[in-house]
Amino acid sequence: MESGYRRDVPEDRDDPALAEVLAWLGGGTAPDRSVLQAAVKESLAALVAAAPGHSVEVRVPPFGAVQCVSGPRHGRGTPPNVVETDTRTWLALVTGRLSWAEAQRAGTLSASGSRTGEVERLLPLR
């Protein structure tokens, strides 16, 4: 999954949990499950803060799913705008280590619906 894609994303290397996640994304040992869960939940919360709303559902199983991006609210059934990916891909996207297009080409990111591009434009998270 290493690609050379990298935006200039400020990183707080003094945060040991973040350092573990970044080392893992760089090919190191996987952090504890609790560290990965916290990283996913915090990054999903940051996404919601950056794009509040209910028109796109972002799923990162098994750790979380949120609704974000302003627009029509979805009620029941499968939402029309869904982004779904695994933990490693999500954290690589939010830290700028992987592009949306690369993740889609690799088959590790699924995005359906016309509003999912709003999520793409917000990544990497700052």
Greater confidence (101 vs 10) lies with: 101
Give the pLDDT mean for 69-74: 80
Both tokens of residue 63? 């750790």
CA atoms within 13 A on the CB side of 42: 12
Confidence of residue 89 (pLDDT cuts 50, 70, 90): very high
Write down the pLDDT at residue 3. 40
**Whole-angstrom Cα distance, residue 2 to residue 26?**
8
Confidence of residue 100 (pLDDT cuts 50, 70, 90): very high
Confidence of residue 7 (pLDDT cuts 50, 70, 90): very low
**What is the amino acid identity at position 18?**
L
- Which residue's structure tokens are 């990283």? 39
Does domain 16-122 fall under CATH 3.30.1050.40? My reply is yes
* % residues pLDDT > 70 (the chain): 86
Write down the pLDDT at residue 6. 39
Nearest to 83 by CA among 96, 70, 65, 95: 65
- What pTM did the predictor assign? 0.86
Write down the pLDDT at residue 67. 94
Burial class (CB in 10 A: 0-12, 13-18, 19+), 72: exposed
**Whole-angstrom Cα distance, residue 10 to residue 27?**
20
What crossing angle do the helices spanning 33-50 and 87-94 adopt, rounded to 10°? 50
CA atoms within 13 A on the CB side of 22: 14
Greater confidence (78 vs 31) lies with: 31
Residue 9 pLDDT > 80: no
